[in-house]
Amino acid sequence: MICEIAPAKINLYLHVGAVRRDGLHDLESLFVFTDAGDVVEAAPADGLSLAIAGPFAAPLAAEPVERNLVMRAARLLQAEAGVKEGAALRLDKRLPIASGIGGGSADAAAALRALIRLWRVTISPGDLSDLAFRLGADVPACLERRPVAVSGAGERVAAGPVLPPLWICLTNPCVAMPTGPVFRAFDAASPEPPTPLRVIPFGEGYQRVTGLMENSHNDLQAIAIAREPVVQTVIERLAACPGALAARMSGSGATVFGLFSSAAAAGRAARGMAGRGWWSMSAMLCAADR
């Protein structure tokens, strides 16, 4: 059996531009990944199947399995690589759904990594990235666990900056924030957005992190707060936690992250947020060399 972690994806910043001809948005973002998340397992089998378990399995299990990104990734790789074998896939869904931390995209990327190993597929990094983009704009970046600078609509992925050791507290106030309506509201509010800019960190150590956060933003955060004001409450609560370097919403929301320089501080923050009845977890961020 092959096992792959599908880590939570966090946008340290998200600068959104205009809609392209293909209907996707130009953007600039810095993705980082946790050392924990969903888990995808793949075992040899005659056909393709997918079982879904875990605390956030119910909504996915209620949908046709062929719509799940894990199964779609398996079908696409099987077809493109000419694979005759099947696989028994299992998704342990530990991260909340529609929460801005790339759960579906990370699951698809983990499935691709697992099946490439299981089926012994030979594929170039470029071809794999192109295949991943056909599944979703965030999937190419989620193939990696290191910090990556993402541009275009997600198809351009480059190595991100080296950051000091960081721990994160993720908190979701238990409200779904579907991506489509958030982007449509952004388009209505910003019909001619400026060209999104990449932020180059400066300084050393944790000054590099605070400087990065101070000189960037998430263009979707205000839209999400207008839909669900509790997101602002979570941001303020996390920012006020002892040891917090910064707090911001990830992606299209509603998950908020707080950055910390120690595991203990991030863990305390997560316990405090969970004590308010919100979903929360703490984890270490994967470094640039992982």
> What angle, 0 to 180 degrees and rounded to 10, lies between the N-to-C axes of helices 69-81 and 125-135?
140
Q: Mean pLDDT for the chain?
A: 95
| Better-scored residue on pLDDT, 290 or 21 | 21
CA–CA separation, 134 and 127 (whole Å): 11
Measured distance CA(71)–CA(88) in Å, rounded: 10
Question: Coil, strand, or helix at residue 32?
Answer: strand
Whether residue 267 has pLDDT greater than 60:
yes
Quote the CA–CA distance of 169 and 271 in Å, as a whole number: 9
Domains and CATH numbers, the chain: 2-159 (3.30.230.10), 167-284 (3.30.70.890)
The pLDDT, as a whole number, for residue 130 is 95
Residue 48 has phi, psi (to 5 degrees) of: -100, 130
How many percent of the chain have pLDDT more than 90?
91
pLDDT higher than threshold 70 for residue 41: yes
Give whole-number Cα distances, 105 to 24, 53, 164, 259, in Å.
16, 17, 26, 22
So which residues are the catalytic ones?
9, 138
Residues 99-121: tens digit of each pLDDT: 999 889 999 999 999 999 999 99
> What is the mean predicted confidence (pLDDT) over 218-224?
97
* CA–CA–CA angle 98, 100, 102 (5° rounding): 90
The predicted structure's pLDDT at residue 290: 41
Q: Mind listing the pLDDT tens digit for each residue in 58-93?
A: 999 999 999 999 999 999 999 999 999 999 999 999
pLDDT of residue 67: 95
